Structure 1
Amino acid sequence: MKAHQEATHYVTPWFWWGLATAVATLDQGFKSIVERLFALGSTLPLSSFFNIVHARNTGAAFSFLAEAGGWQRYFFIAIALVVSVVLALLLRRAHPPSESLGYSLILGGAIGNLIDRSFRGYVVDYLDFYYQTWSWPAFNLADIAIVGGVLLLFLSSLSQPSPQAGRTG
């Protein structure tokens, strides 16, 4: 019975790799639109708490290491490559759907930002949320996919029994 339940959760790796590719492609599409339609530094207010902006980030989350002198670009490229390969290999095995979805989202986001760093030298950010004088740092769809994927993996880990559960010592 358990083998049958596990088999029903299995989806071919091509599905998950395709989802990651779709996330990266959609992310790149939005970034291209922002670069074509908006001057660097411009802002398009859409609500009392949200703008579309055109920003560049040479660092990581919250512009971490953005002013590091250029070496960080290659450092973040290397990290994204390693993470992408590991995740692509992990998706070759059967996992619960929530885990595979989490890995796929992280993979797609990593690839989206990897493409930016590799070909542009920076990551294009365009989503800007704020409240009065407080503003969250601008981000993009790839960042949303990475954070969403990590959140899914975290929630998935809470809902699954650990391999140690049920053992007596």
Structure 2
Amino acid sequence: MATKKKSTFSAVSRPSLAPWLGIAFLVILLDQITKIMITRLFTLGEEKPVTGFFNLVLAYNRGAAFSFLSDQGGWQRYFFTAIAVAAVGFILYLLRKNAGQRMFCWALALIMGGALGNLIDRLAYGHVIDFLDFHLAGVGHFPAFNIADSAICIGAFLFIVDELRRVNKN
């Protein structure tokens, strides 16, 4: 009587990267669609008040967050492009290694989508397109930003929350 031999190898199922790449893709898509719309509807510097604290405005940012280094001679475009490419590579590594950690991967996917959205702008136009302008009436304006920037900030917030949860478990 023959008996079936059990395999000593077991297939270990690793969580897929597909959901996280999908989230990043949706951020990029929403970011690029909104930037295309704003550039077709507005001229550079044009503002349209929406509420007492929010305007739509077409602005170009040659620097980084809050227009950091935007007044430099152009080298910053390549510097921030290199940083974005390196960050995306590192994020892909972390996603692959930790694909089963939901909040951590949500954070990374949002950050990666935002970084790639702004990278597309830098490569295509030499600057990032910003259009969301929040302000305090009569006090001043927060620097204009975009969907990619928003995704990066939300991702950073989720990353901090995830780390705080992890620290509190120990």
Cα offset for 1:96? Answer: 1.9
1:86 aligns with 2:81: no
Aligned counterpart, 1:3: none
Aligned counterpart, 1:127: 132
How do residues 1-169 of structure 1 correspond to structure 2 at under 5 angstroms? 11-93=15-97, 94-133=99-138, 134-161=140-167, 165=170
Cα offset for 1:11? Answer: 4.7
Cα offset for 1:120? Answer: 0.6
Structure 1 unpaired stretches of 5+: 1-6
Cα offset for 1:95? Answer: 4.0
Cα offset for 1:91? Answer: 1.1
Cα offset for 1:32? Answer: 0.5
How many pairs are equivalent? Answer: 156
State which drifts further: 94-103 or 40-49: 94-103
Q: Deviations over 1:102-123 (max 9, x none)?
A: 0000000000000000111000
Cα offset for 1:161? Answer: 3.7
TM-score, structure 1 normalization = 0.88
| Percent of paired sites with the same residue | 45
Root mean square deviation, CA, Å:
1.7
